């Protein structure tokens, strides 16, 4: 068997690892358009911030490919897939045959449609080369504008602030993290960012990026002009679906897959940021471009490529951030009145009748916000700011759709902890899906 | 929001509102600290953790696998008994130290050294002087007062003889104590001896330890506490039934609110005077306040409530909640049950916290020491601080619950049953007759604290309602009395709604509530005398243990409650505690205090957290006593099974 | 110190019927992970040594809750820095704190709440099965024998023995 994997990040690498774990003999080939192997994209902002060096960027041992006997084409882009011949063509003409193919081509930062966006000093943070470029500029940069107040924009801003730069975040929506959390949580998070010297401007957009060759300032649609020597576009990502589309695979927001992560071609699988999978909380297809989802999907796709029928329960949107010691986690449906779909906010308010189906419990304190969204007595989403210790426990309740009516009124408590769900574990046992749950209640 | 935490935490709607407010403002209060403390250590709960010597700490494995004796060899019986005994010693020490201070104040007042006090009740003075064998003929009130004060004071360190007040107990009871060897000889001595015996390597027999525990507790009930009660009556006036109000709603939005919290009335009684000072009232006006509103908290509240009708802002678990209203300018505290958390809570608001006793200070909290010689002057100074603090109120933060209930307080040994007998026939006869005839089943004392381990007030209220429904007359003290007052049970009208037909008839006939407020927690001594008077009146047996009565502390938390429980049990009365004493780790000790003591002193303990079940245990006990006395059947009610 | 090789498939089980909530396991765990490994010095260390176990309760039942060292560990899948991994020999879930950047993805996904934040050092903290000792600090400290280190079979056997 020839297993070919396109994409060398979380999904692709996990797939290689999983295939090799179960099959010592078959040939595994990994194709990546990046030269630097096995690095974790999510760590790039930590690299920019100076928290870690390049030596800490890898999420696997540097001999991983060698030790697992994986043939690699690094720095080579896959340009087409011939499904009939079961062949992948790389730029430069190399052709690689496959029996089973995994497309884990990931995503690309979205750009903005603003004059001057092509100037020197306008960058995104996705690849290691982007991070290196920014770090090379830092000595000559005092002021930085970050376009986008979402997760990516804020992470970029936070990293650069740690380099003692004057950072302004320009946010189109009336709040930061509008896709991740509600207004109340956003307020708590924004206030910590501002207290630590990051300027946040909401409800404004960039109108023009000005400068001779390189960026010198940015003009906003409220008429204000900010001096800046670096503009970071942190607006989110779009899936790299071109390869799949051109091969004639079914693509909607991302590559459409079934519960085995199989595309419309039974020999081709997709995983990670490019795959549109079943979203557990929303009960519909969605791209959840997240590291944990990519790892899990890579592993499950690999098992299915090996012919071991393994169902993917679905993905769950979830994010964890920590800004200046204020930790926040969001998961699932956090703003039930907004239809969130695949990274693009459609500010379509659901009919009030629908809204009534959701029950919201929340609590606010100093640097603290907790909110749970319930539907039919099952938790479908949460936001935790400041105190995140129960996030994982709740994630299990969301994932496994556990009826929480009996613990609803203690969910917000400071001392909510695993013990509080033990009666549910005892009652619903196998619904929790992991044998370890039963281990905890043997004597309960 | 559908969080119902506030409802689970308290039965009292005013408290619920403030608990909600605390939650909304993210201010941590006693229930939050209680939750954070969970789970609490089982060794401590079971009483089998010993920290008495430095070979330890030692813990006995309650499940039998681990160590079954401490490093010294102490068994779980010895360890649990020593721990419990030390609780009795501490509780006795607290009540009695209070009594000692009152005796001192009485002497100072009698000698004219503290002008702000007078000997207000000469009737009581003469009566108590009689108990102490003081020849009063031809002596001035002051002279008698001084002699009595000195005699009481001497009893704390007395080396020979027994305490005087035990002579008020029925003869048979006195003889029993003498026979068992638990007649209290002195107050301090019993505490000291108990501490000695529970020291490493002294008394290793749990029964012998508990015996000295009982003796110590009797030195509280028939000693320190009784001295406090009786001398306070002499000094500050014997209470008379008085109408007053209770709950957080007594705080006033347009006035300077001063809350007095703690236990000793010597200061609070004078503060009441000071609050009427014209100069201070004018100052209050200057700051835009329409007056100075004095309110009590815990037992200090009970003291000035029953003597002067000063409103009570609430009981133990409301001390933080009062501050949370945002309307308290100043809270002055004396001793006991004052949560260390108060200083932090006060810091969240403009409230000024002032300590007044050299025995009770907080780091960083202003201390204005109370001295009897300059009582009024000091009281005025403290109130002035409160008045001046009025301007610092944050209007936005003010949120006073509307809940207020009326009550009648101020029943005493002397006056309570005067009512039953009619104005001109002050006698216990009608009470005894009502019991003998089956109109009343008997009487119960429901007392004690609040504890976040039980929904605030719920156990008190549920138990008392169940008792009066079954024609049991209830007497109350302390935080328990406040709990039921907040429910409106301490009014004559409540008899119509809640009392059984027999009790209702009695209440209706004489116009008393079915639940009688007899004072603060040192005033549990009043209950001992009431019981003794009932025996003396005749027809209900010859000893306290013959009476169809029972006691309860359904929400107890303090060591003082353990001391009270023991003196009530050692006086022959069956007593139910809500959550158990920390003794369950020792089966033997548990059996001893919940069963065997009954055969020794006539009284014993039971532990029952369900207030209705507990009330039924009390009623069953009362019925057994009725049967033993060969009393007729209940006029209106059947037996509780 | 030499890392002790532990038996595979071992994790810490709690016999809920015997846990009295004394928190001895918490204290022992913190002390074991202190610099001095001595309680009287450990309480003076700043930042305080961190415990990795917690006594939690529900309706009067108490559990001393540890990392379950899940076979298919959600925390390992979520870890983006490669700090968390499964030990091939012992099957333990281990955290390399040098690689941890404090993104709290593991906190977000641990269904037992067994991974906590060390805020001062900005790294995650979890049960490491006591690599410096032959036994397990919490188990040794447990005064009632509620805690047990072993395989599931061994624990179940022990429970059966107890019930007789």
Within an 8 Å CB–CB cutoff, is residue A412 touching chain B?
A: yes
Handedness of CA A340, A341, A344, A348 (dihedral sign): negative
* Residue A77 main-chain phi, psi, to 5 deg: -95, 135
What CATH number is associated with residue B554?
Answer: 3.40.50.2030
Tally of CB atoms within 10 A around A170 = 26
Residues B225, B280 share a domain: no
Name which of B5, B35, B36 is nearest A409 (Cβ-Cβ): B5
Chain C positions in Cβ-Cβ contact with residue A436 (cut-off 8 Å): 68, 70-71, 112
Tally of CB atoms within 10 A around A390 = 26
Confirm whether A314 is domain-assigned.
Answer: no
Name which of C82, C103, C111 is nearest A392 (Cβ-Cβ): C111
Give yes or no for a contact between A285 and A279, defined as CB atoms under 8 angstroms apart: yes
Residues A229, A242 share a domain: no
How far is C75 from A96, CA to CA, in rounded Å? 35
Name which of C81, C104, C116 is nearest A329 (Cβ-Cβ): C104
Confirm whether A395 is domain-assigned.
Answer: yes
Residues B266, B231 share a domain: no
Angstroms from B23 CA to nearest CA on chain A: 8
Residues making up chain A, counted from first to last: 444
* Cα separation values, B632 from A103, A422, B434, Å: 93, 54, 11
Residues B331, B363 share a domain: yes
Give the tens place of pLDDT for each residue, B76-91. 999 999 999 999 999 9
Residues A245, A102 share a domain: yes
User: Any bridge partners for residue C149, and if so which?
Assistant: C12
Q: Do B40 and C143 touch (CB under 8 A)?
A: no
pLDDT at residue B415, rounded to an integer: 84
* Cα separation values, A4 from A86, A257, A297, Å: 10, 18, 16
Give the tens place of pLDDT for each residue, A8-50. 999 999 999 999 999 999 999 999 999 999 999 999 999 999 9
Count of domains for chain B: 4
How far is A161 from A245, CA to CA, in rounded Å? 40
How far is B198 from B77, CA to CA, in rounded Å? 12
Chain B positions in Cβ-Cβ contact with residue A368 (cut-off 8 Å): 26
Chain C positions in Cβ-Cβ contact with residue A325 (cut-off 8 Å): 119, 122
Confirm whether A71 is domain-assigned.
Answer: yes
Q: Do B43 and C57 touch (CB under 8 A)?
A: no
Chain C positions in Cβ-Cβ contact with residue A292 (cut-off 8 Å): 74, 77-78, 105, 108-109
Give the tens place of pLDDT for each residue, B460-510. 999 999 999 999 999 999 999 999 999 999 999 999 999 999 999 999 988
Residues A265, A345 share a domain: no
Within an 8 Å CB–CB cutoff, is residue C109 touching chain A?
A: yes
What CATH number is associated with residue A82?
Answer: 3.50.50.60
Q: Do B35 and A415 touch (CB under 8 A)?
A: yes
Chain B positions in Cβ-Cβ contact with residue C164 (cut-off 8 Å): none
Give yes or no for a contact between B327 and B346, defined as CB atoms under 8 angstroms apart: no
Count of domains for chain A: 3
Is the complex ipTM more than 0.90? yes
How far is A329 from A183, CA to CA, in rounded Å? 14
Within an 8 Å CB–CB cutoff, is residue C144 touching chain B?
A: yes
User: Any bridge partners for residue A216, and if so which?
Assistant: none
Angstroms from A368 CA to nearest CA on chain B: 9
How far is A392 from A316, CA to CA, in rounded Å? 12
pLDDT at residue B510, rounded to an integer: 84
Least confident span in A92-96, B36-40, B255-259: B36-40
Within an 8 Å CB–CB cutoff, is residue A413 touching chain B?
A: yes
Whether the predicted pLDDT of A347 surpasses 90: no
Give the tens place of pLDDT for each residue, C3-14. 677 889 999 999
Residues B262, B156 share a domain: no
Q: Is A423 exposed, middle or buried (0-12, 13-18, 19+ CB in 10 A)?
A: middle
Confirm whether A136 is domain-assigned.
Answer: yes
How far is B146 from B151, CA to CA, in rounded Å? 9
Maximum distance among all Cα pairs of chain B, rounded to whole angstroms: 73
Percentage above 90 pLDDT, chain B:
91
How far is B258 from B327, CA to CA, in rounded Å? 9
How far is A53 from A51, CA to CA, in rounded Å? 7
Q: Do A388 and C117 touch (CB under 8 A)?
A: yes
Helices in C11-80 by DSSP H: which ranges? 24-32, 39-42, 74-78
User: Any bridge partners for residue A87, and if so which?
Assistant: A82, A97
Chain B positions in Cβ-Cβ contact with residue A413 (cut-off 8 Å): 5, 35
Residues B255, B216 share a domain: no
Nearest-by-CA chain B residue for C62: B39
Residues B103, B50 share a domain: no
Tokens 């005064």 belong to residue? C143
How far is A328 from A190, CA to CA, in rounded Å? 12
Q: Do C143 and B45 touch (CB under 8 A)?
A: no
Confidence of residue B630 (pLDDT cuts 50, 70, 90): very high
Residues A333, A246 share a domain: no
Within an 8 Å CB–CB cutoff, is residue A408 touching chain B?
A: yes
Q: What domain range includes position A396?
A: 327-440
Q: Is A95 exposed, middle or buried (0-12, 13-18, 19+ CB in 10 A)?
A: exposed
How far is B245 from B517, CA to CA, in rounded Å? 13
Q: What's the whole-number average pLDDT of chain B?
A: 95
* Residue A348 main-chain phi, psi, to 5 deg: -95, 120
Residues B313, B346 share a domain: yes
* Mean pLDDT, residues B317-342: 98
Handedness of CA A19, A23, A29, A34 (dihedral sign): positive
Chain C positions in Cβ-Cβ contact with residue B67 (cut-off 8 Å): 143
Angstroms from A359 CA to nearest CA on chain B: 9
Name which of B2, B35, B36 is nearest A408 (Cβ-Cβ): B2
Confirm whether B2 is domain-assigned.
Answer: no
Residues B345, B302 share a domain: yes
User: Model pTM?
Assistant: 0.85
pLDDT at residue A351, rounded to an integer: 44
* Cα separation values, A268 from A98, B102, B348, Å: 9, 91, 63
Q: Give the residue extent of every domain in chain C.
A: 14-66+135-156
pLDDT at residue B420, rounded to an integer: 66
How far is B306 from B261, CA to CA, in rounded Å? 15
Confirm whether B640 is domain-assigned.
Answer: no
Nearest-by-CA chain C residue for A387: C117
Tokens 């001057």 belong to residue? A116
Final residue before a domain boundary, out of A200, A216, A235? A235
Give yes or no for a contact between B547 and B621, defined as CB atoms under 8 angstroms apart: no
Confidence of residue B640 (pLDDT cuts 50, 70, 90): low
What CATH number is associated with residue B113?
Answer: 1.20.1270.30
Whether the predicted pLDDT of A179 surpasses 60: yes
Q: Of chain A residues 346-375, which have a CB less than 8 A from chain B?
A: 359, 361-366, 368
Whether the predicted pLDDT of C164 surpasses 70: no
Final residue before a domain boundary, out of B202, B236, B270? B236
Number of helices and strands in chain C (H, E):
6, 8
Q: Do C14 and A443 touch (CB under 8 A)?
A: yes
Residues B417, B316 share a domain: no
Residues making up chain C, counted from first to last: 164
In the three-class reduction of DSSP (H, G, I as helix; E, B as strand; rest coil), residue C120 is classed as: coil
Residues B492, B383 share a domain: no
Within an 8 Å CB–CB cutoff, is residue B395 touching chain A?
A: no
Q: What domain range includes position B485?
A: 410-628
Q: Do A364 and B26 touch (CB under 8 A)?
A: yes
How far is B510 from B505, CA to CA, in rounded Å? 9
Chain C positions in Cβ-Cβ contact with residue A390 (cut-off 8 Å): 113
Tally of CB atoms within 10 A around C131 = 14
Report the half-sphere exposure of A435 (CA within 13 A, side-chain side).
5
According to DSSP, residue A244 is labeled: H
Confirm whether B635 is domain-assigned.
Answer: no
Residues 6+ apart with CB under 8 A from B375: B114, B116, B117, B266, B267, B270
Closest CA to B563 of B594, B602, B524, B518: B524
Mutate to test the interface with C, among B35, B48, B58, B63 (most CBs of C within 10 A): B63
Residues A129, A99 share a domain: no
Give yes or no for a contact between A182 and A337, defined as CB atoms under 8 angstroms apart: no
Residues B365, B216 share a domain: no
Residues A129, A28 share a domain: no
């Amino acid at each position: 068997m020839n297993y070919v994997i396109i994409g060398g990040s979380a999904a692709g690498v996990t797939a290689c690892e999983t295939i090799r774990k179960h099959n010592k003999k078959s040939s595994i080939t990994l194709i990546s358009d990046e030269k630097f192997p096995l690095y974790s994209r999510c760590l790039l902002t930590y690299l920019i911030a100076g928290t870690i060096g390049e030596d800490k960027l890898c999420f696997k041992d540097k001999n991983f490919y060698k030790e697992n006997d994986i043939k690699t084409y690094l720095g080579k882009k896959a340009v087409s897939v011939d499904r009939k011949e079961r062949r992948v063509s790389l730029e430069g003409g190399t052709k690689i045959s496959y029996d089973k193919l995994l497309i884990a081509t990931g995503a690309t930062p979205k750009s903005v449609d603003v004059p001057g966006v092509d100037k020197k000093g306008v960058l995104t943070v996705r690849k290691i080369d982007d991070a290196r470029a920014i770090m090379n500029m830092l000595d000559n940069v005092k002021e930085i504008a970050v376009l986008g107040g979402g997760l990516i924009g804020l992470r970029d801003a936070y990293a650069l602030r740690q380099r003692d730069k004057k950072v302004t975040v320009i946010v189109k929506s009336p709040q930061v993290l509008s896709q991740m959390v509600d207004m109340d949580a956003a307020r708590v998070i924004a206030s910590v960012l501002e207290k630590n010297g990051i300027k946040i401007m909401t409800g404004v957009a960039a109108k023009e990026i000005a400068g001779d060759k390189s960026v010198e300032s940015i003009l906003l649609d409220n008429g204000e002009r900010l001096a800046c020597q670096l503009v970071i576009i942190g607006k989110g990502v779009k899936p790299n679906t071109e390869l799949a589309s051109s091969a004639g695979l079914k693509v909607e927001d991302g590559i459409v897959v079934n519960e085995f992560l199989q595309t419309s071609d039974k020999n081709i699988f997709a995983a990670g940021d490019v795959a549109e999978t079943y979203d557990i909380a929303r009960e519909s297809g969605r791209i959840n471009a997240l590291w944990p989802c990519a790892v899990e999907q890579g592993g499950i796709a690999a098992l299915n490529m090996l012919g071991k029928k393994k169902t993917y329960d679905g993905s769950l949107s979830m994010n964890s951030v920590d800004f200046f010691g204020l930790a926040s986690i969001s998961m699932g449906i956090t703003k039930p009145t907004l239809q969130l779909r695949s990274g693009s906010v459609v500010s379509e308010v659901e009919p009030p009748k629908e809204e009534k189906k959701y029950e919201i419990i929340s609590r606010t304190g100093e640097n603290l916000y907790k909110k749970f969204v319930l539907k039919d007595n099952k938790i479908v989403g949460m936001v935790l700011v400041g105190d995140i210790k129960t996030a994982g426990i709740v994630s299990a309740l969301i994932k496994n759709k556990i009826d929480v009516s009996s613990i609803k009124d203690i969910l917000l408590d400071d001392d909510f902890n695993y013990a509080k769900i033990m009666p549910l574990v005892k009652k619903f046992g196998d619904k929790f899906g992991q044998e370890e749950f039963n281990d905890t209640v043997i004597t309960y | 929001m559908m969080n119902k935490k506030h409802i689970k935490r308290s039965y009292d709607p005013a408290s619920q509102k403030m608990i909600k407010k605390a939650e909304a403002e993210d201010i941590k209060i006693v229930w939050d600290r209680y939750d954070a403390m969970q789970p609490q250590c089982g060794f401590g709960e079971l009483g089998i953790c010993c920290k008495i010597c430095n070979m330890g700490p030692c813990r006995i494995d309650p499940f039998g696998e681990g160590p079954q004796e401490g490093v010294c060899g102490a068994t779980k019986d010895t360890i649990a008994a020593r721990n419990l005994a030390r609780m009795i010693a501490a509780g006795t020490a607290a009540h009695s130290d209070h009594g000692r201070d009152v005796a001192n104040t009485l002497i100072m007042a009698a000698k004219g050294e503290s002008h702000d006090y007078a000997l207000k009740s000469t009737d009581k003075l003469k009566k108590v002087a009689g108990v102490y064998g003081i020849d009063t003929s031809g002596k001035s009130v002051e002279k008698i007062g001084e002699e009595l004060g000195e005699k009481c004071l001497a009893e704390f360190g007395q080396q020979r003889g027994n305490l005087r007040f035990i002579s008020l107990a029925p003869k048979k009871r006195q003889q029993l104590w003498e026979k068992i060897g638990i007649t209290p000889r002195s107050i301090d001595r019993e505490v000291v001896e108990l501490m000695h015996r529970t020291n490493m390597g002294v008394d290793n027999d749990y029964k012998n330890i508990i015996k000295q525990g009982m003796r110590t507790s009797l030195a509280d009930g028939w000693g320190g506490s009784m001295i406090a009660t009786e001398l306070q009556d002499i000094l500050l006036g014997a209470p008379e039934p008085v109408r007053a109000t209770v709950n957080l709603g007594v705080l006033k939005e347009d006035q300077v609110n001063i809350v007095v919290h703690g236990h000793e009335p010597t200061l609070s009684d004078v503060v009441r005077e000071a609050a009427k000072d014209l100069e201070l009232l004018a100052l209050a006006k200057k700051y835009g306040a329409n007056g100075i509103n004095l309110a009590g908290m815990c037992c200090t509240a009970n003291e000035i409530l029953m003597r002067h009708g000063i409103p009570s802002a609430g009981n133990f678990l409301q001390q933080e909640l009062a501050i949370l209203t945002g309307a308290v300018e100043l809270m002055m505290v004396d001793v006991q049950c004052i949560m260390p958390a108060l200083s932090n809570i006060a810091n969240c608001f403009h409230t000024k916290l002032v300590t007044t006793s050299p025995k009770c200070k907080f780091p960083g909290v202003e201390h204005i020491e109370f001295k009897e010689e300059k009582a009024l002057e000091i009281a005025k100074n403290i109130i002035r601080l409160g008045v001046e603090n009025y301007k610092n109120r944050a209007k936005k933060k003010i949120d006073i619950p509307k809940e207020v209930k009326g009550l009648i307080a101020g029943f005493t040994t002397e006056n309570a049953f005067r009512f039953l007998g009619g104005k001109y026939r002050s006698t216990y006869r009608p009470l005894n007759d009502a019991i003998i005839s089956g109109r009343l089943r008997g009487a119960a004392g429901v007392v004690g604290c609040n504890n976040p381990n039980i929904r605030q007030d719920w156990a008190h209220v549920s138990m008392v309602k169940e008792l009066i429904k079954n024609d049991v007359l209830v007497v109350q003290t302390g935080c328990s009395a406040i709990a039921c007052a907040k429910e409106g049970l301490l009014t004559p009208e409540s008899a119509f709604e809640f009392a059984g037909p027999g009790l209702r008839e009695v209440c209706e006939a004489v116009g008393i509530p079915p639940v009688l407020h007899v004072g603060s927690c040192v005033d549990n001594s009043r209950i001992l005398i009431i019981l003794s008077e009932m025996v003396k009146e005749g027809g209900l047996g010859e000893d306290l243990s013959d009476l169809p009565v029972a006691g309860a502390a359904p929400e107890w938390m303090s060591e003082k409650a353990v001391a009270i429980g023991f003196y009530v049990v050692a006086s022959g009365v069956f007593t139910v505690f809500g959550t158990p004493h920390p003794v369950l780790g020792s089966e033997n000790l548990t059996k001893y205090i919940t069963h065997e003591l009954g055969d020794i002193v006539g009284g014993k303990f039971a532990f029952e957290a369900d207030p209705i079940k507990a009330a039924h245990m009390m009623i069953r006990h009362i019925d057994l006593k009725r049967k033993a006395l060969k009393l007729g059947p209940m006029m209106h009610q059947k037996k509780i099974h | 110190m030499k890392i002790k090789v532990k038996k595979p498939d071992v994790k810490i089980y709690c016999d809920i019927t015997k846990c009295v909530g004394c928190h001895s396991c918490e204290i022992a765990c913190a002390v074991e992970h202190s610099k001095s490994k001595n309680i009287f010095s450990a309480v003076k260390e700043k930042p305080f040594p961190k415990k990795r176990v917690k006594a939690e309760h529900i309706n009067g039942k108490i559990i001393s809750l540890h990392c379950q060292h899940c076979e298919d560990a959600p925390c390992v899948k979520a870890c983006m820095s490669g700090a968390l991994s499964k030990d091939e020999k012992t099957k333990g879930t281990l955290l390399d704190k040098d690689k941890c950047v404090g993104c709290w993805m593991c906190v977000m996904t641990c269904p037992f709440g067994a991974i906590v934040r060390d805020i001062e050092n900005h790294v995650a903290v979890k049960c490491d099965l006591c690599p410096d000792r032959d036994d397990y600090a919490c188990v040794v400290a447990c005064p009632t024998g509620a805690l047990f280190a072993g395989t599931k079979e061994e624990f179940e056997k022990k429970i059966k023995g107890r019930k007789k």
